Amino acid sequence: MPAIVPLKLSAAARPIVDQLLARATTDADKAKVNEVLRRAAGADGNKVLSAAEAQAILDTFKAAAGSATTVDPITLGVEKSAATIESMKEFANLDGVSSLFTFQDGSVKDKMIAELNASVARANGRPMELNMLIFEFQSDSLEKALVDIAKNNPNVTIRIIGDSGQATDSGGNALPSILKAKLPNIEVKYKKDFPYVFSSSLGRPTYNHGATQGLNHHKGFVTLIDGKPDLLSTGSFNWSDTADTKNYENLVTMKNTDSSSRRGIEQFNDEFAGYWNSPDAALSPNNFANFKSAKWNEMLAANNRPPTQAKAKPDDSYAAYTPRVDRSSDLNGYRPADVTRLKELVGTTLAKAIATERKAGGRFTSVEDLQERVPGTTALSAETLAALHFGSGIVSLNTASLEELDALGFSKKSAQDIVKFRTQNGDFDSVDQLKTLGVPAGTITKVKASLSTTDVEAFFNSRPFGAPQGGTGYGTNGGRTTAVMGANGQITNAAANVTVGATDLFNRAKAGQTIDVAMYGMSVGAPEYNSLVEAAKRGAVVRVVLNDDFTAPTVAALKALATQGFAVDVRVQKAKTMHEKFGVVGDDVFFGSANFSSSSSTKHSENRVTIKNEAGTAKAFQNRFDEIWNKSK
């Protein structure tokens, strides 16, 4: 029997493999089966065939044998196995990214609740934090899910920052109802804002959208388990029944599997922490009520009206939020911190054994996988095992540090050249670009399987109450810059705001390349719109689908470009509310809470996330765009 090389078999997989190989009667057929098993083992990023992987292939061959007619069972089994292995790769979801769309995937709300409960299950009693930034929360089922999680899991702390408009229970707002439950592990703040003008006819202040100093327009949350980033969920989806049943919406979940996705989670939580801790950004319920009452009376006094006699509420300030220190170790990671933490957790000898086995067999997928491959780990305590993380083992050329590149196998010079390249030119588009830097072919061959060019980055806008202008977020990196392409085609370090999250992609688009944008609101004065127009003038093919309300001037402007001979087409969605806010350029995509408007780029608290060089996510959004495009006029 030909050896199964370079495949490693788990003990539980051996009898299943024996059954499978027994179906092959010739050495040639056995070799074909071996190759299928090798590819199946690699579906989750390692060379070790698990029992589940082996069983999936055996089942495929059994089914093929039952349906084989003119084709022999082994040949048909090999053919059918390709689809099985592809589904195994999707199940492994090594990049950790999944995209949901209303009217495509059932109830997005239900899936969000499932993700929340899955995070609680992963925490398994360890300290967990759920930090949310939400514009609209009007869903009984989502409210119940959060309250149930808090009641049944005292280890979970839930923090929510809502828009100022959610501070009253009108319209079914959930946050006042949640606060009435008086659960010690749910904390709520409201965006500091006073969007009112004085009405002479009514003799009092009245709400006016134009008077806002900035909405909390975010729609997302992060979870962390014992300080370890767990997942980020964000997109256009508000927490409402309307969003789930009547709107075109998207929701993207990124789990801490891939190093790029991890960065997005960390950036979002950093923004949350800065927002929560800024007294000019968000206030606890009583303090918000007192602030609103004071501003109300100021407006009354300015218009010669007597003040209200409302009694000030007691100070209910929460403690400052300091994220817990992440003490986990990614067994498949290359960060120096992971190596150091692993030695602290399991000792130097066992850490070395783990590293040796990973080098020989590839990434570890679970505690069970680890314990079978490194028997010494069976003696580790449950607490230690809980601190181990099983990442993808993939490093992105666009986010890796010098230390990670060195640990992966690059020379010091090559690592420095890689960082210099992306600083001067922006992202790598492919691993093959390493050749242009003079990286030895042998090095590329050695590390290629552990490399990607996927880049996840979260961009933010913010405007504290009373500030003359907005900024790039409240987080510690609120002033951060990022390498983006300008309108002149030159790479510069620009403020990492939501605007450049889109214009960078548009400015990179080449003649003949398609740009597809689905946007709820788009103003001809927005910088993103102008960048889109310039791309069309360079020869890019631009398609835009807009919501029906308040977009007539933009529709007219885009149609005028088409009459001038530019490849621009626009459609309007009338049947449903088209609340999406995304764009697709090749294998790059952006999404989030921000529209293309001056308010989004200068006033509101917004996010926009980009995922570059990731064909799967881009395809999902492309399919969504095509769906809406075909149903719009």
Greater pLDDT, 419 or 479:
419
Query: Tell me: the pLDDT tens digits for 125-141?
Result: 999 999 999 999 999 99
pLDDT at 4 over 50: no
Q: What is the DSSP string of 524-586?
A: TTSHHHHHHHHHHHTT-EEEEEEESTT-HHHHHHHHHHHHTT--EEEEEE-SSEE--EEEEET
Query: Tell me: the pLDDT tens digits for 131-168?
Result: 999 999 999 999 999 999 999 999 999 999 999 999 99
Average pLDDT of 524-541?
97
pLDDT at 5 over 80: no
pLDDT of residue 208: 95
Quote the pTM value.
0.94
Spatial separation of the C-alpha atoms in residues 595 and 461, rounded to whole Å: 12
550: left (phi over 0), alpha (psi -120 to 50) or beta: left
Which residues, 6+ apart, have CB-to-CB distance to 11 below 8 Å? 372
Spatial separation of the C-alpha atoms in residues 505 and 589, rounded to whole Å: 8
pLDDT at 478 over 80: no
463-630 CATH: 3.30.870.10
| Strand partners of residue 267 | none
Query: Tell me: the pLDDT tens digits for 389-431?
Result: 999 999 999 999 999 999 999 999 999 999 999 988 889 999 9
Average pLDDT, the chain: 94
pLDDT of residue 3: 40
Burial of 323 (0-12, 13-18, 19+ CB in 10 A): middle
Query: Tell me: the pLDDT tens digits for 573-612?
Result: 999 999 999 999 999 999 999 999 999 999 999 999 999 9
pLDDT at 523 over 70: yes
Domain range list for the chain: 8-92, 97-302, 329-452, 463-630
- 3-class secondary structure, 30: helix
Number of helices (H) and strands (E) in the chain: give both, helices first. Answer: 22, 29
Spatial separation of the C-alpha atoms in residues 559 and 553, rounded to whole Å: 10
Average pLDDT of 94-120?
94
pLDDT at 108 over 60: yes
Intrachain domains 97-302 and 463-630 with the same fold: yes
97-302 CATH: 3.30.870.10
pLDDT of residue 6: 55
Spatial separation of the C-alpha atoms in residues 180 and 165, rounded to whole Å: 17
Amino acid (one-letter) located at 465? F
pLDDT at 17 over 70: yes
- Please answer whether residues 226 and 194 qualify as being in contact, where contact means their C-beta atoms are separated by less than 8 angstroms: no
pLDDT of residue 424: 86
- 3-class secondary structure, 110: helix
Query: Tell me: the pLDDT tens digits for 31-65?
Result: 999 999 999 999 999 999 999 999 999 999 999 98
Query: Tell me: the pLDDT tens digits for 205-250?
Result: 999 999 999 999 999 999 999 999 999 999 999 999 999 999 999 9
Query: Omega into 6 within 30° of 0, i.e. cis?
Result: yes
- Please answer whether residues 191 and 135 qualify as being in contact, where contact means their C-beta atoms are separated by less than 8 angstroms: no
Average pLDDT of 285-290?
98
pLDDT of residue 479: 82
pLDDT at 309 over 90: no
Give the model's confidence band at 183: pLDDT under 50 very low, under 70 low, under 90 confident, else very high: very high
From 609, 544, 608, select the one nearest 578 (Cα to Cα): 544
